Structure 1
Amino acid sequence: MDVEPATVIHAYGVVCTDAAIDVPATGIGGAGVALLDAGPVSGVFSIVPGASYGAAAWEEHAEDPAWLAQVATEHQRVLNDLVRDIDVLPLRLPAMYRDEVQLHQMLEAETPLFLAVLQALHDHLEWSVHLYLVGEPEESTVERPASGSEYLRQRIDALSRRDSARGNRERLVRDAYASLADLSRQSVVNQPQDSTLSGRREPMLLNSAHLVCRRHERLFLAGVEEVAARLARDGITVEVSGPWPPYNFVELGTDRVDPAEARP
C-alpha cells in the first residue's frame, strides 16, 4: 500500500525565468507560493500537505464539486495575479508532483515546448464573452379561433414566427462572434454552460474566448460594448470577463511525464 507523502508539490504555471516576477503571497490552502528555476523557464508552485492535496485526496474528492471548485478558484487566483504583469502558461489540474526534483525534471524536459508557446503567446491574454437570452418579443394578441381550421392556422403562424425569431437570434449571435473575432488574434467557441456553471437562469447563447494583445484591450472592450448595444433591443445581453491566462489557447498538462521516470 502506497503511503501518502507528508507534502506534495502543486504547480500553477510556467513563466520565463528572466521575467520580473512578483509571486502572490499565498496559494492553494493558504500555502506560500514560490518559483523553481529550471534554466530558461521557471515553475510557479506551492508545497502543500499530502493528506489534503495528494493523489488520495484528489481521488476522494473526484465527485465533490465544492472541493474541486475551491481548489480551482485558489489555483486560478494565483494565475490571475501573475498574468497582470507577465506571460504565464497555466497548468491544468491536478498539476501535482511528488517533490521539487520531479517538477524540475518536467520543466527541463519540456523547456523547448514551453519557450515556443510563451513566445507565440507573448503579451496576449484571454477574454471571455457570454451571450444570454434575457427577453423575447411578446406574442401579439390573436382573436379566438372560430373553427378548428382557424386554430390550426394560428398555431402554424405562431410556430413560423418562433422559427423566424430563432433564426434571427442565431444570425445575431454569429455576427456578434464574427465582430469580436475580427478584434482578436484567435477566438474559440466553447459549449454553452448550464445554469449551474454560469450562475444565471437565462439560457446561454454563446460561450466564446478571445486571445487579445494587451495593447488592443481597449479596442476589444469597445467592440464588446458596440455588440452589446446592438443585441440589447433583441433581448440578448453580453457578459465579458477577464483578462485571464490563455486557458483556451494553450493546454499544458503533465501527461507525458511518467512519475516512475522522474524518480531520482
Structure 2
Amino acid sequence: MDSLIYLYGLIPTKEAAKQLCPSLKGFDGIGDVYTFPIGKITAIVCNLDSENYSEESIKEQINNNMEWLQEKAFHHHETVMKLSKIFTIIPLKFCTLYNNSASLETAVQSNESKMMNTFALIAGNEEWNLKIYCDDQLLKKQVSQSNPTIEAKREEISQLPKGKQFFEKKKLDKVIETELEEEKNKVSEKIHSHLREFALKGNVKRPWSNDVTGRKDNMTWNGVYLITESKVEDFLEQIQQYEKEMRESGWQFEASGPWPAYHFSSFS
C-alpha cells in the first residue's frame, strides 16, 4: 500500500546532525518515527498506510471513537514533548498528514525562511501557560460593596417608593454582573501586562468553559508566554506571589510548562 507521511514537527538540520532522533513508535504503533532532511530543516515523521489512515477514516475515528482520539492525541503530544527536550522543534498540530514525501518537501521549502526565523525565536526559550480562575460569588460580594457605580445605584434605589424598588433591584443585579466582568477583565489584564515583562511574547487564548475544566470556579484568563529559560524562575515566583496575595479574594492561578512552542510557531 502507498504510505502517507505523518508530520510531528520540524527541527534545524544542524541539530539533527549532532543528535540522533530517539527510538519512538509511530502513530500506528507499528512503524518507527524517523527524520527526513529537507535542506536546512529536518522533518520528524512516520509512515502510515493510506487506506487505514485516509482523510475519511480519520474523520470517522475522530467523530465517533473517543477512545481512539484520546489515545492518538496523547501519542502525538507525548512524542512532541519528548522531541522538544532534545531539539528546537516547531510542533505540528495533531494529524498533520502529507500524501507523499514530495508534497512535504514542497511545503517545507516554500516556508523555509519563515521556519528559520521561528527557530531563532524559540531556541533557548520555553512556552508557559497561565490559567486564572475566580470565585464569582466571592468577588461579586466584594464588587457590590466597594464599587462606586453600584453604591450610587443602591443609594438611588433606597430613595424610591417600595413598589419601584423591587424592579430597580433587579436592574441592579445586572449592573453588578456587568461590573463583576469588568473587574475580572481589568485585574486579569493588569496581571497579564505585568507578566509580559518577564516574557519575549505573551498571547491571550479563549478561556475554557467549566465543562472542559471540570471546576466550579470560572476561568477568567488563559495566557501563553514565551520566556527565556533564565527568566522562568522569576516568572513563576511572580505568579506564586499573586496566588499568595489574592487567594482570599477568590483568585487562583494555575501555571504549567514548559511546553513545545505551539503558540509561537506556525507552519502553513
TM-score bin, normalised by smaller chain:
0.7 to 0.9
In structure 1, what is the Cα distance between the partners aligned to 2:181 and 2:99? 52
Residues 109-148 of structure 1 mapped to structure 2, 5 A cutoff: 109-134=110-135, 136-137=137-138, 147-148=162-163
Separation (CA, whole Å) in 2 of partners of 1:231 and 1:6: 58
Q: Which amino acid aligns with 2:35?
A: L
Q: Distance in 1 between matches of 2:11 and 2:49?
A: 24
- Give me the TM-score of the superposition, normalised by structure 2: 0.78
Q: Greater CA deviation, 242-251 or 97-106? A: 97-106
Distance 2:70 2:59 in 1: 15
In structure 1, what is the Cα distance between the partners aligned to 2:8 and 2:61? 19
Which structure 1 segments of 5+ residues have no match?
254-264
Change (3 A) 1:76 1:24: farther
1:225 and 2:240 aligned = yes
Task: Indicate conservation of the 8 Å contact 2:131/2:254, yes or no.
Answer: yes
Task: Calculate percent identity across the aligned residue pairs.
Answer: 18
Alignment-derived partner of residue 174 in structure 1: 189
Residue aligning to 2:22: 23
Secondary structure of 1:53's counterpart equals coil
User: Where does residue 54 of structure 1 map in the other structure?
Assistant: 54
The CA distance in 2 between the partners of 1:85 and 1:220, in whole Å, is 23
SS in 2 for 1:120: helix
- The alignment partner of 1:197 has SS state of helix
Aligned residues of 2:130 and 2:256 also touching (Cα < 8 A)? yes
Report the secondary structure of 1:94's partner residue.
coil
- Pick from 247, 252, 255: which aligns with 1:240? 255
Residue type matched to 1:34 in 2?
A: Y
Report which stretch shifted further, 44-53 or 216-225. Answer: 44-53
Partner in structure 2 of residue 80 of structure 1? 81
Helix, strand or coil for the counterpart of 1:192? coil
Q: Distance in 2 between matches of 1:112 and 1:203?
A: 41
What is the distance in 1 between the residues matched to 2:33 and 2:197? 38
> Which structure has greater helix proportion?
2
Q: Which residue of 2 aligns with 1:259?
A: none
Kindly provide the amino acid, as one letter, of the partner of residue 16 in structure 1: P
CA distance in 2, matches of 1:85, 1:134: 40
**Contact persistence 1:92–1:252 (CA under 8 A):** no
**TM-score normalised by the chain length of structure 1:** 0.79
User: How far is 1:151 from its partner?
Assistant: 4.4
> Cα distance 1:231–1:115, how it changes in 2: closer, same or farther (>3 A)?
same
Q: Alpha carbon RMSD of aligned pairs, Å?
A: 2.8
- The verdict on how the C-alpha distance between 1:234 and 1:29 changes in structure 2, with shifts beyond 3 A counting, is farther
TM-aligned CA deviation for residue 164 of structure 1: 4.2
> How many residues were matched structurally?
245
Unaligned runs of 5+ in 2: 145-157
